[in-house]
Amino acid sequence: MNELTLTSVATIESCYRDRFAVPRQPLLVEQAWSFIRLHPKVQPELSLQGLEGYSHVWVIFGFHLNQGSRFHAKVHPPRLEGESIGLFATRTPHRPNPLGLSLVKIKKVTKEGLEVLGGDFADGTPVYDLKPYLPEVESISEATGGWSAKVEKPRWKVEYGSPEIKQQIINWGRSFPEINILSLITQTLEQDPRPLVYRDSSKNYKDTHAFRLFNGDIHFRESSGVFVICDLRLDEDK
């Protein structure tokens, strides 16, 4: 059996500081901001030349937070709500080799790396390769989507618990001019970031959850089928 040793070429700085709330697929959250900072050894000022002409890039990365998980030939994708299906018919992070493949939108190419939108990365994700998206060969109009194309994709309604909380978040968002903070939060919650176990109301789990963006925790609760944003807690408040 041939073995391949991979060495990372970059590390991702993401608005999502941990796993919770990271989008389950790329481009679902258009405002999801990341910076792919290339290591000096790959000479980013040279190796990125020419990429500025492309709108999107493929990112081959490692699921660095899942390396201790056991291999299972069948998995339970959240969208199947408990049903199982073959590992290789999904994009689960729990794989024999913990590698991910995501298509993201290029916002800016710099001498240090790439600023991108639409990523499904946690902060600190290692990157093993970058490849430009080629629409002339990779856009297949007759492609079929298998089981994932048949599953309903509900979007949750998102509201703010008070005008004061919304204004607090707007003020905080001015520290991150590269993205629209309200859209980022709304798009993230629309996808329902909660693990399956927390979606069962009969289990009496906590009804308030939080996910981390940049240096703050967004607290939200479910109320009659709506996610209500109820608090913002920043690092300096702790």
pLDDT of residue 131: 98
- Listed by start position, the domains of the chain span 10-138, 154-237
Crossing angle of helices 163-173 and 181-190, in 10° steps, is 120
| Of residues 132, 133, 116, 131, the one with CA closest to residue 12 | 116
Backbone torsions φ then ψ of 58, nearest 5 degrees: -85, 135
CATH architecture of 10-138: Beta Barrel (2.40)
Q: How deeply is 20 buried, as exposed, middle or buried, from its count of CB atoms within 10 A (0-12, 13-18, 19+)?
A: middle
Mean pLDDT by 10 residues, the chain (238 residues): 90 95 94 98 97 97 81 83 87 90 98 98 98 95 89 89 97 95 97 79 73 96 93 85
Number of CB atoms found within 10 A of residue 103's CB:
18
Centroid of chain to Cα 30: 10
Is-same-fold flag (10-138; 154-237)? no
pTM of the entire predicted model: 0.91
Tell me the HSE value of 114 on the side-chain side, using a 13 A CA sphere: 31
CB 38 within 8 A of CB 115: no
| Of residues 113, 117, 138, the one with CA closest to residue 127 | 113
CB 24 within 8 A of CB 78: yes
Q: CATH homologous superfamily of domain 154-237? A: RelE-like (3.30.2310.20)
pLDDT of residue 195: 80
CB 108 within 8 A of CB 114: yes
pLDDT of residue 160: 97
- pLDDT, tens digit (0-9, with 9 covering 90-100), for 133-175: 999 999 999 999 898 888 877 889 999 999 999 999 999 999 9
